[in-house]
Amino acid sequence: MNEERFGSLARVYGAEELEKIQNANICIVGMGGVGSWVAEALARTGVQHLTLIDGDDISRSNINRQCHALESTIGQMKAKVMQQRILDINPECECKVIEQYINDENVSDLLMPDPATSDSKLKFDCIIDAIDRIKYKSLMIHFCKKNKIKVIATGGAGG
């Protein structure tokens, strides 16, 4: 743990609990008005393993509500820009980017990779739903529930 960067968090949570937070492998699906802020908060809390999933790029209309949306980032992929922001906040974070939308065909591959062909670090401790389309939000939540994957669902109506 970087004491200078995260020492105050150890005093708040305790060293043992902070270690659990930092070692968690968290996936955030949707890098919009909810997901971008969630990702930033987790990076600032010292989470060391993040996966960001979003297939969209930043548009000018995102600037009013998304932390990575700036005039200088318009047209760039949301997850990639957020990854760079996270690494600026917490250079020790392993931050993986998947530039895809969740759908019927890929939900299993993205959220529960085959352990025989994938890195075991891809097993998520928690998936955070920050999807704004109800069809895919419900698809993902159902998938997580069916596969006993912890999921935190959020509500948003920006996109």
Look at residue 3 and tell me whether its pLDDT is greater than 80.
no
125 close to 150: Cβ distance less than 8 angstroms? yes
| pLDDT recorded at residue 158 | 52
Query: In percent, how much of the chain has pLDDT > 70?
Result: 90
- C-alpha span between 111 and 53 (Å, rounded): 10
Residue 81 vs residue 22, higher pLDDT: 81
- DSSP calls for the chain: --HHHHHHHHHHH-HHHHHHHHH-EEEEE--STTHHHHHHHHHHTT--EEEEE---B--GGGTTT-TT--GGGTTSBHHHHHHHHHHHH-TT-EEEEE-----TTTHHHHHS--TTTS-GGGS-SEEEE----HHHHHHHHHHHHHTT--EEE------
pLDDT digits (tens, 9 = 90+) for 40-96: 999 999 999 999 999 999 999 999 999 999 999 999 999 999 999 999 999 999 999
Look at residue 103 and tell me whether its pLDDT is greater than 60.
yes
Least confident of 28-32, 63-67, 152-156: 152-156
CATH 3.40.50.12780, domain 14-153, yes or no: no
| pLDDT recorded at residue 113 | 63
Query: In percent, how much of the chain has pLDDT > 90?
Result: 73
- C-alpha span between 119 and 156 (Å, rounded): 32
Residue 91 exposed, middle or buried by CB count within 10 Å (0-12, 13-18, 19+): exposed
Q: Which residue's structure tokens are 């548009």?
A: 59
Residue 156 vs residue 146, higher pLDDT: 146
The Cβ of residue 47 has, within 10 Å, a number of other Cβ atoms equal to 22
The distance between the two most distant Cα atoms of the chain, rounded to a whole number of Å, is: 44
Tokens of 47: 């989470």
Q: With bands split at pLDDT 50, 70 and 90, how would you rate the model's confidence at 13?
A: confident
